[in-house]
């Protein structure tokens, strides 16, 4: 079994701020992780490390058993799909939706580019279709609603057929129906054994798709709990993570939490 992520005693320090503190975390192939934690806990920073976009200040991060700092990250990046409002900054508003997905393949095909063009286009179209966006493929990215943008971004993250998919708050800004649609699609993704290893960052327990297997809870850059969902998803860990006494409810494979009396 391939170790997809291995964080060992990771510190990330910026100025005086210790963003991650002695954080250790292992993700094995095929696992589906949700990462929970309050604003500023370090979740996006964690994903930046996993996406090889950042190096730790101390400790080691290995991605697909290659240690950051000792490997050419450009070899690893095609294996990693990333969808993040915070990190996906370079999509132009006037870009055609099909191109938003298609361009994720650039750099992959190198000098065989022309041969692969048709194949790439077909794959981009298929992904847009799977995410319910094929009818809008000729629209500009800027003309899409928040929910539509989210689905295009996930299709884009899947374009290189990654072995690890990182999603940073894909449900942010969605209305109730949009969120439920996203959860349904992510549930299908989670249940498909052919899907990549998944890491989903969210603030809302309702957004955890059934079929997710593990949870990592962090607070102020430190691990509060990590492990199989059934073991770590409890009121004590959640209350500690969010520093609020919480009551956890579970129905039809979904979770929600409210403040305890
Ligand atoms: N370059 C930097 N210099 C100083 N502090 C930083 C830097 N980058 C991030 N931080 C701080 O590190 C903390 C963690 O940031 P991060 O974006 O990882 O949190 P997060 O868990 O994703 O939060 P949110 O839920 O709000 O998205 C925040 O307090 C942030 O202000
Ligand atoms: Mg964040």
Rounded to whole angstroms, how far apart are CA atoms 37 and 148? Answer: 26
What is the distance in A from the centroid of ligand 2 to the CA of 106? 27
Q: Which ligand is nearest to the CA of 39?
A: 1
In 40-163, which ranges are continuous DSSP H helix? 43-50, 73-76, 97-102, 113-130, 146-158
Q: Which ligand is nearest to the CA of 19?
A: 1
125: which 2 tokens? Answer: 């179209």
Best residue for ligand 1 mutational test, from 7, 10, 34, 42 (most atoms within 8 Å of Cβ): 42
| Domain contains 31 | yes
- Report how many helices (DSSP H) and strands (DSSP E) the chain contains, helices first: 8, 12
CA distance to 59, 67, 81, 136, 250, per residue, from 41 (Å): 19, 24, 22, 36, 25
In this predicted structure, the answer to whether residue 261 has a pLDDT above a threshold of 60 is yes
Cβ(70) to ligand 1 under 6 A?
no
E strands, 15-103, are 17-28, 32-36, 58-63, 66-67, 80-84
213: nearest Cα among 201, 225, 199:
199
What tens digit of pLDDT does each residue of 35-57 get? Answer: 999 999 999 999 999 999 999 99
Predicted confidence at residue 108, as pLDDT, reads 47
| Domain contains 52 | yes
Mean pLDDT (whole number) for 155-160: 92
Pairing state of beta strands 197-201 and 32-36? parallel
- Helices 113-130/146-158 angle, 10° precision: 140
- Provide the residue range defining the domain that includes 36: 3-86+163-259
Cβ(69) to ligand 1 under 6 A?
no
E strands, 76-235, are 80-84, 164-168, 197-201, 214-219, 222-228
CATH number, domain at 18? Answer: 3.40.50.300
Domain count within the chain: 1
| Domain contains 144 | no
| Domain contains 199 | yes
Predicted confidence at residue 88, as pLDDT, reads 57
| Domain contains 195 | yes
Q: Which of 22-26, 113-117, 151-155, 202-206 has the lowest mean pLDDT?
A: 113-117
| Domain contains 18 | yes
Question: Atom of ligand 1 at shortest distance to CA of 169?
Answer: 27
In this predicted structure, the answer to whether residue 132 has a pLDDT above a threshold of 60 is yes
Cβ(110) to ligand 1 under 6 A?
no
Cβ(43) to ligand 1 under 6 A?
yes
Cβ(37) to ligand 1 under 6 A?
yes
Best residue for ligand 1 mutational test, from 41, 46, 89, 224 (most atoms within 8 Å of Cβ): 41
What tens digit of pLDDT does each residue of 205-251 get? Answer: 999 999 999 999 999 999 999 999 999 999 999 999 999 999 999 99
Cβ(193) to ligand 1 under 6 A?
no
Predicted confidence at residue 111, as pLDDT, reads 42
Q: Which ligand is nearest to the CA of 168?
A: 2
DSSP 128: H
| Domain contains 150 | no
| Domain contains 183 | yes
Predicted confidence at residue 87, as pLDDT, reads 61
Cβ(138) to ligand 1 under 6 A?
no
Question: Atom of ligand 1 at shortest distance to CA of 38?
Answer: 25
Contact 261, 246 (CB under 8 A): no
């Amino acid at each position: 079994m391939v170790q997809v992520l291995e964080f060992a005693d990771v510190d990330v320090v910026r100025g005086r701020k210790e963003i991650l503190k002695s954080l250790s975390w292992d993700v094995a192939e095929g696992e589906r992780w949700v990462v929970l934690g309050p604003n500023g806990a370090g979740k996006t920073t964690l994903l930046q490390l996993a996406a090889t976009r950042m190096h730790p200040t101390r400790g080691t991060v290995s991605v697909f058993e290659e240690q950051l700092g000792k490997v050419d990250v450009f070899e690893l990046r095609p294996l990693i799909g990333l969808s993040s409002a915070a990190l996906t900054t370079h999509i132009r508003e006037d870009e055609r939706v099909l191109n938003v997905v298609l361009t994720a393949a650039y750099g992959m095909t190198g000098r065989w580019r022309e041969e692969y063009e048709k194949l790439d286009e077909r794959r981009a179209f298929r992904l847009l279709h799977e995410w319910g966006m094929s009818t809008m493929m000729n629209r500009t990215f800027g003309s899409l609603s928040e929910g539509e943008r989210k689905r295009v971004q996930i299709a884009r993250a899947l374009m290189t057929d990654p072995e690890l998919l990182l999603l940073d708050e894909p449900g942010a800004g969605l209305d109730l129906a949009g969120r439920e649609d996203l959860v349904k699609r992510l549930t299908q993704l989670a249940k498909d054994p052919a899907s990549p290893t998944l890491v989903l960052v969210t603030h809302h327990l309702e957004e955890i798709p059934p079929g997710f297997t593990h949870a990592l809870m962090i607070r102020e850059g430190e691990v509060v709990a990590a492990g199989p969902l059934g073991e770590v998803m409890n009121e004590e860990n959640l209350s500690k993570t969010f520093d609020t006494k919480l009551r956890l409810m579970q129905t039809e494979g979904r979770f929600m939490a409210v403040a305890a009396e």
